Structure 1
Amino acid sequence: MEGKWIFTEAKRTEEPMMVCFRKEVLVDRVCDRCTIQISADSRYFLYINSDMVDCGPAKMPAGLRCYDELDITPYIKQGNNEIFVKVLCYPKDSLKALGFSSGPISVITEGVGGLLIHELDTNYGLSTDESWMCAKIDGYGFVKNKFAGYVGFSEHIDYERVQASLDNNMKNAVVVMDSANSNPYGLASFWQLVKRPIPQMYMEKKDTFKLMRQYDNTYEYDAQVYVFAFPAIKVSGKQGGFAKLTYAESYGRFEETGYVKGVRNNPDRQEIIGEVDYITLQEGETIYIPFYPRAFRFVKVEVSEDVEVEEFFYYETGYPLDVQAEFKADDEVYEKIWDVSLRTLKLCMYETYVDCPYYEQMQYMMDTYLEAIYTMSVSDDSRLVKKAINDFAYSQLPNGLLPCNAPSSFVQVIPGFAIYWLLLLDAYFMYEDDVEFVKGHLGTVDRIIDFFTRHINEDGLLGDTGFWQFFDWVDGWERGVPVQKGVNILYNMLFVLGLRTAAKLNLSVGRLSTHNEYLALANSLSYQIIKHSFDKETGLFKNSPNDEKPVSVHAQVFAVVAQVVMCEDNKRALMRTTVENAGKLKPMSYAMRFFLCRALEETDMYDEVYKTFRIWDAYKELLELDLTTWPEDFVTQRSDCHGWSALPLSEFVRCYLGVRPIEYGFKKVGIYIYDSPFEKYSGTAVAKGKEIFVDIDNVTGNVALRIPKGLDYELKDFRKNVQSPKYLISTY
């Protein structure tokens, strides 16, 4: 890249700051194509001739920085053109990051600031150098968030001071460094520049706001669905007037027990409470769009007496996922469950997967594993999945563990989440024939396995791994940890699942000795788990050898999915006993029910999903609260949009439509149909970019399939309530 990194000065920033860059270029003749490569430390927003073009760069782990390649031809005109770039530069300060005072935790920065643009096809003079003008912007205030510290800051903008900075403080930029990744002697830059591995985020203007109520100079709006968007408000008034925007997922209220949400769109005795952006106007008309998108369904707009709201809309943004799967049923509530699940997933896909768009916006490993499964169930676009695998692998710690979230400005560790990365690599390989990519990550796998192996005690069980041994959000489990002291059997089972998965991956690429080593260790651990934690009186597993009796569904489910119990008859007996005692055992959260479904599927008891465990009834109850996305859990319902709760996407495709990969690389398709709560349903699944059409009538037993010619598939029908099924199979 020929452009150079430019900034206001060659000095690390100690506080968050907004810097604006500007250049005017004269274009004698508009060329057929004008492409630029652009990056920034830490984030940029590009405008050309006052039009919003794009923002970035995509979030990456430490040591890497993306550049975006943008076709800006539609924005260039003959004559004078103004290129204007806003750059937010965050300080590199670990202590400030721990106090949520450095910026979004998911945005890695070096604090050197700057903008980099390289012009590819043309010679308009767009590449960054000393000819660019820039200014640090006074009047752009960073306000620490009250509820969502992970996502950075709210804004407090004084437009009169901002305009004064633009008018009076512009000066020639300083070249901080060139764009090379190293000098001729190999001295590396702060980061290695890499091309963005995912598409640009989409932005779509929408106006769905409904005025809920108005009082004094306050307006309360409902977007009618949960959104992740750039709100845009046009106001007019005198200099010094103000507008204040409060963003919330729901109407709610504070009680002695904490923040309580009821029916989400019911304002009665409830209010809009959340993060706040505040603007002070200049004379006349002001259009405010925050630098970073906000998550909200409800917005409260408060203005001073002399200010009028002229227009209020938003630019919805997110990962441009092409959803190819469809689901239709004779009961419309299940179609709504499907639609809400899709919205939940898509709102948790941005430049990385995120746990939730409102609070952390962090790519947590367990969340990402489930969100990736849901993504690949409904689309053949796995680019964000592949990026997530790399994000965590590039962040591996010296002890072999992975941080529980990445990219991140600080290190947070949940040891068990490293196993979910292993499962993610395996899941990606099931859907994508990408052998070399998988082989390239087996070293990461080995180091994860090595960490856990080093923590096996003399009794042959995995001992204390340290850090935060979170497993699930369950009532009574402090911080989500099932065993506060002693051996955690659930972690042992999770490790066994990781070992068997790692063994399978190694076998697939010919590493036979490593496969055998991991399999032997898995079998040894399984023996010790059964020996120390299986309760013969109840026929169930305990969470810890020190427990008096079994207390959770979790231990039974993971004994099955991890193949701790190998005999098929014993697995079925264990799950039958679990079903019989379901009301006495601690239940699994929305997220963990993915594994419950796998255990029921494996033991031919999948009908218990909607019978004993009534999983879909829980979603129906949420719809009665007017939720348009699925919440984090049923214990706190802290977040109203959590990607790991979009379970119906995988289940409706995998077990009701029946379509799933049964060999690595989707080389063979399984069409395994299970009992469902519908009489008739249909839908579309996707396998390696090809659509499979499924139409099922449980009354007559008929199954109609339309599949691509040459598809290697295996059809199995596990329905118990159908006597004489008929199969109508056509190809296209």
Structure 2
Amino acid sequence: MDATLLDTEWIWHPDWEDRGSNTAGRFVHFRKFITLEDVPSSEVKIQITADTKYQLYVNSMLIHTGPVKGDQHLWFYDELDIQPFLKPGRNHIAVRVLRFFHATKWATSFPRLPIPGLFVRTPGGQGLGLQSDGSWQAALDESTKLRIDQREDDFLHLYEDVDASKQRELSWVPAKPLGLPKSHGLAPPWVLSPRMIPFQTGESVGLEAIQNIKTGSSHHLELQGFHHLTAMLQFRFQRPDAAGSSIRITYSESYEDEPRFIPYLRCKGDRTDTSKKLLGPQDQYTFAGHAGAQAASSLAYNADAADAETFAPLHFRTFRFLTLDIDVVPDSDLIMSGLEITTTNYPLNVRGNFSVPSHPEEATYQTAWANSVRTLTNCMYDCYEDCPFYEQLQYAMDVRSSCLFTYAASGDDRMARQAIIQLHNGYRPGVGLLASRGPAHQLQIIPHFSLFWICTVADHFQHAGDATFTRQFLSTCDGILEAFARRIDPALGIVASDAAAVSSFWDFVDWTEEWRPMGIPPAARRTGYQTFTSFLYAYTLRAAAEVLAKLGRPSVAEEYLERAESAVRGTRAYCRVRNVFTDGLASTADHDQDFSQHNQIWAVLSGAVSGAEARDLLAHSILGVSTGTKTSGTFTKPSMAISFYTLRALSMAGGSLYDSAFHEFWNPWRSQLAQNLTTWCEDEQTTMSTQSQSLSQWVTELNDALFIQPNDEIALKAAEEQVDPSLVVKINHNVYTYDQFKPGLQYARSTTTSIQDKFSIILAWENPEKPDGVVAVLSKWRVKDKATGKETEKTNVILWEVKWIDGKRKLTGQTEVEAV
């Protein structure tokens, strides 16, 4: 960090409390007045940042929203030239700061440090007295809550509930310098750095105004964009005479049926099917009327605040559809004068293109290319984001795909460099793994994602050839690979699941329907091994070895190649039935569910098979060519999010496989275009309506959510949303109600861990008139006592009774015969 940055104080409101009820945080307003005889003829630069987000205004003009999200390892500031916005005479500098409370689980997507603060500095000795100090004034926003009450929002908590009538005047006080230590090895907690990526760009995509909303009326409007957007919004109204009217804005990606599990499992089809519902997170604004004009004018966020009342969320919103619900009080008209929508995206200069000029579907491919570019750019804001509507988090596996597409589309590697650094900052030496995502307020570890990060480092070196940049990560790469090496079973030569960390790590592989809700192959839980892990480990070793060889470390590169070959030998010996690879140990494989395309693909990518053997394997598992290598079951298919690796394997296998599979491969994306998507979804389940999910799939998924997967919040949510209060559970001769079932479930989960060995559908009756019915299941599972470690095997036959209630499937009855 530049030591001169320590010369400037951080400031904050003296009466701040970093907590509050029913809100994820609060807003604080800052202002400063400067008087100029003349506007300087040269640049007037300021360096500015805040914890957590800020907006800078100069003379009622919005200059910038920042900073790029950071964390305790790296906190970004912006350097801005405000000279064009200054004027002779009195100038009003205003900063609006959003502070998320530190000691909460809310707003996972937005890291913040234990202390709030605003930092303003004039570099190079420029005057004007703009630096943050006690001459600034501060005021608390008493009108806005950051919503934590929405089922549609599990990650962001930046949707605003504003009651402007609650704050008719602001109490301005001198800002308090924080006086943080700056010597003897001590420093403020923010490790300041200039931003690493360019400023966002945008363009107006305005809609026509709604005129003359009459007295005492309610209006519901559904507005459709040309395509999926990430945009800043401003709703402008003539300031009403009286307070109390309100507007509620719902942000939606699609018209849809009632979700199976809010907010994660949606029931979407044609995105523009107006016979369905628009659902999503909401902002709400209650008007202050003329009584709020003084407070709004003192903020100077809008030059016409005395005559106009404006709602402008601080952070961008993601949507394709907007629902406006406007309620007007009886004693005041409400006149909407404008809705300004300004897109905001990373300034990606797309220089690449894609064309199949001789193919009859060339126009379809061009639309698909446009959707692909739009999906990428809408996921590029502060960092690579998965995804802007739900999480806005930078996940290591997704980053690799995003970086590779960015290189191909534009050659730009600036966000890629930032992503590699930010994820590297999440390294945990104690476990030898990275956080799965970063920056983030809550730590999550998905072991496989650390390997994908190494691949991203290797990809960047191949793209940019920057040895200096790459070398700084080599020790961490080695540490990660060593963490996986420690898990190798010496008798088998393959990577075992880390039993000691099973409760805190998430061994996620892919969002396939068969592996929901946790995205883990059933064989992993049952056998203690994931073939995918050994394949990905070997693949990553080979990628790292190639980089090390070019950086002058041939002996380490050779060691990595030997370790990779050892791992794939183990998979060939212990994870294969005939010529097909199983998801776990072959010796205990369930031939009905333990085969996936994933492991045939990664067998090729890792070097476990090659040449004609690889081509036969892929032809059988992906193209459906019969080779007699597998006698039962089907192959679990990858989600669209990781299908990139399918194409890589087809290409790597050689021959004509890639060309013969290419056009048919894109059928899932053609289906999305037919359903009027303008950006891609990550799996086919989000294109599926409620009725198209089989009852057996629904029961299997609910069983896992309630009893097997390790997250108690997911289980409780499933019990509340997918189990009807009329539930009756019968276990042998005992009968339980819903009110007994729910605490019983919580107690069982708190005292035991359940491992599902088999969940097999015996019989199913599905109602031909609506999507409910009865499913009979044979369940074999193990229950491990958390206190004693004692493990008990159980076998049950369970009858699941499901009814269609209020547009959703609900579990209404369970009859279990439990073998003792």
TM bin (shorter chain): 0.7 to 0.9
Q: Which has the higher contact order (CA 8 A, sep 6+)?
A: 1
Structure 1 contact 366–420 (Cα < 8 Å) conserved = yes
SS in 1 for 2:412: coil
2:447 corresponds, among 411, 415, 422, to 415
Q: How much has 1:12 moved relative to structure 2?
A: 6.2
In structure 2, the partner of 1:481 is 520
Question: 2 CA distance for matches of 1:208 and 1:556?
Answer: 50
In structure 1, the partner of 2:226 is 224
1:586 corresponds, among 627, 631, 636, to 636
Question: Are the structure 2 counterparts of residues 611 and 576 from structure 1 closer, same or farther at C-alpha, using a change threshold of 3 Å?
Answer: closer
Q: How much has 1:512 moved relative to structure 2?
A: 2.3
- 4+ residue segments displaced more than 4 Å: 208-211, 255-259, 605-610
Q: Which amino acid aligns with 1:601?
A: S
Q: Which amino acid aligns with 1:473?
A: W
Is 1:74 the counterpart of 2:84? The answer is: yes
Question: 1 CA distance for matches of 2:64 and 2:273?
Answer: 36
Query: Higher mean Cα deviation, 200-209 or 33-42?
Result: 200-209
1:344 corresponds, among 375, 387, 390, to 375
Q: How much has 1:607 moved relative to structure 2?
A: 5.3
Structure 1 contact 156–278 (Cα < 8 Å) conserved = yes
Structure 2 contact 76–195 (Cα < 8 Å) conserved = yes
Structure 1 unaligned blocks of 5 or more: 640-732
Query: What is the percent sequence identity of the aligned residues?
Result: 28
Structure 1 contact 28–78 (Cα < 8 Å) conserved = yes
Superposed, which structure 2 residues align to 1:239-250 within 5 Å? 239-250=243-254
Structure 1 contact 219–302 (Cα < 8 Å) conserved = yes
Question: 2 CA distance for matches of 1:638 and 1:442?
Answer: 43
Question: Are the structure 2 counterparts of residues 523 and 613 from structure 1 closer, same or farther at C-alpha, using a change threshold of 3 Å?
Answer: farther
Superposed, which structure 2 residues align to 1:250-399 within 5 Å? 250-254=254-258, 259-268=266-275, 270-283=276-289, 285-305=308-328, 306-330=333-357, 331-397=362-428, 398-399=430-431
Question: 2 CA distance for matches of 1:313 and 1:360?
Answer: 25
Q: Which amino acid aligns with 1:52?
A: L
After superposition, what is the alpha-carbon deviation per residue over 1:543-595, rounded to whole angstroms, capped at 9, x for unaligned?
Answer: 11221446211111101111122x43332332233345379422121122111
Question: 2 CA distance for matches of 1:114 and 1:419?
Answer: 36
Question: Are the structure 2 counterparts of residues 599 and 289 from structure 1 closer, same or farther at C-alpha, using a change threshold of 3 Å?
Answer: same
In structure 2, the partner of 1:711 is none
SS in 2 for 1:516: helix
After superposition, what is the alpha-carbon deviation per residue over 1:504-549, rounded to whole angstroms, capped at 9, x for unaligned?
Answer: 222121222221222111111111110112222xx21111122144
Is 1:503 the counterpart of 2:545? The answer is: yes
Question: Are the structure 2 counterparts of residues 541 and 494 from structure 1 closer, same or farther at C-alpha, using a change threshold of 3 Å?
Answer: same
SS in 2 for 1:188: coil
In structure 2, the partner of 1:631 is 681
Question: 2 CA distance for matches of 1:277 and 1:506?
Answer: 51
Structure 2 contact 269–687 (Cα < 8 Å) conserved = no
1:572 corresponds, among 593, 603, 615, to 615
Question: 2 CA distance for matches of 1:209 and 1:593?
Answer: 41
Q: How much has 1:129 moved relative to structure 2?
A: 0.8
After superposition, what is the alpha-carbon deviation per residue over 1:330-389, rounded to whole angstroms, capped at 9, x for unaligned?
Answer: 421111000011000100011111111111111111111111111111112111101111
Q: How much has 1:191 moved relative to structure 2?
A: 2.3
Structure 2 contact 227–678 (Cα < 8 Å) conserved = yes
In structure 1, the partner of 2:668 is 618
In structure 1, the partner of 2:296 is none
In structure 2, the partner of 1:522 is 564
In structure 1, the partner of 2:464 is 432
Q: Which amino acid aligns with 1:454?
A: R
1:542 corresponds, among 582, 595, 615, to 582
Q: Which amino acid aligns with 1:308?
A: I
Query: Higher mean Cα deviation, 312-321 or 400-409?
Result: 312-321
How many pairs are equivalent?
Answer: 620
SS in 2 for 1:318: coil
SS in 2 for 1:443: helix
Question: 1 CA distance for matches of 2:625 and 2:322?
Answer: 41
Tell me the TM-score normalised to structure 2 length: 0.73
SS in 2 for 1:146: coil
Structure 1 contact 27–77 (Cα < 8 Å) conserved = yes
User: Aligned Cα RMSD in Å?
Assistant: 2.3
Q: Which amino acid aligns with 2:512?
A: V
Question: Are the structure 2 counterparts of residues 431 and 580 from structure 1 closer, same or farther at C-alpha, using a change threshold of 3 Å?
Answer: closer
Structure 1 contact 353–363 (Cα < 8 Å) conserved = yes
In structure 1, the partner of 2:651 is 601
Question: 1 CA distance for matches of 2:423 and 2:625?
Answer: 36
SS in 1 for 2:134: coil
Structure 1 contact 610–616 (Cα < 8 Å) conserved = no
Structure 1 contact 251–267 (Cα < 8 Å) conserved = yes
In structure 2, the partner of 1:464 is 497
2:606 corresponds, among 558, 562, 580, to 562
Question: Are the structure 2 counterparts of residues 505 and 256 from structure 1 closer, same or farther at C-alpha, using a change threshold of 3 Å?
Answer: closer
Question: 1 CA distance for matches of 2:385 and 2:608?
Answer: 32
Structure 2 contact 597–622 (Cα < 8 Å) conserved = no
Question: Are the structure 2 counterparts of residues 226 and 542 from structure 1 closer, same or farther at C-alpha, using a change threshold of 3 Å?
Answer: same
Question: Are the structure 2 counterparts of residues 208 and 630 from structure 1 closer, same or farther at C-alpha, using a change threshold of 3 Å?
Answer: farther
In structure 1, the partner of 2:109 is 106
In structure 2, the partner of 1:7 is 12
Q: Which amino acid aligns with 1:372?
A: C
